[in-house]
Amino acid sequence: MSSEACLLLASASPRRRELLAQIGVPTQRVHCEVDEQVMPDELPAAYVERVTRAKVLAGVAASPVGAVVLAADTAVVLDEQILGKPRDREHAAQMLAALSDREHQVLTAVAVARGEQVELRLVTTQVRFRCLSAAEIAAYWASGEPADKAGAYGIQGLGAVFVAHISGSYSAVVGLPLLETAALLEGFGISCWQPC
């Protein structure tokens, strides 16, 4: 697989790689690190777009000249506050209790770049949780699934049973909005369903 012909993924997320494979886009990972700290008074949408742009540009810098690079970032947002990955069991329980019986937003930005050309899309999905009991929250933490998930849940896993309603892109909640991603890739000459 030639890195010039195929997509380079500036992400360690296995879920993003699986989503790209689902639409027939093979990838190679390019390693890059960026500062993902939220800036003071930074709005969630601005944060997600900034981090995604930084990731894709770092990916381009670490890739062969002419390579097409994709990066994405996802934030779970409740009351304009970003809910990151839980620090520990108590933090996860607090987040899940706050999400219980409420609607929140999942913001996912995706960027594709080649050289200095960068195209970015931001997708907002509304997610409503049913009421969660303390026992359910404790059992969910014990499953191990919430530990590395933004907002302390994974819609594609055991956390799916908490979701009463979703309005928008399911794949964006998982980590990559496939409709927008496919359109961006097409603009860079990478089609879905075709091998490199």
Alpha-carbon distance of 103 to 144, in angstroms, equals 24
22, 182 contact by CB (below 8 A): no
For tokens 């690079």, name the residue. Answer: 69
Beta strands in 43-158 (DSSP E): 68-78, 81-83, 103-114, 117-129
30, 59 contact by CB (below 8 A): yes
Torsion sign (Cα): 145, 147, 149, 152: positive
Could you tell me which residues are beta bridge partners of residue 69?
8, 113
Q: Is 79 a catalytic residue?
A: no
Mapping DSSP to helix (H, G, I), strand (E, B) and coil, where does residue 87 land?
A: coil
Residue 132 CB neighbour total at 10 angstroms: 18
**Catalytic: which of 73, 79, 88, 101?**
73
Residues classed as catalytic: 73
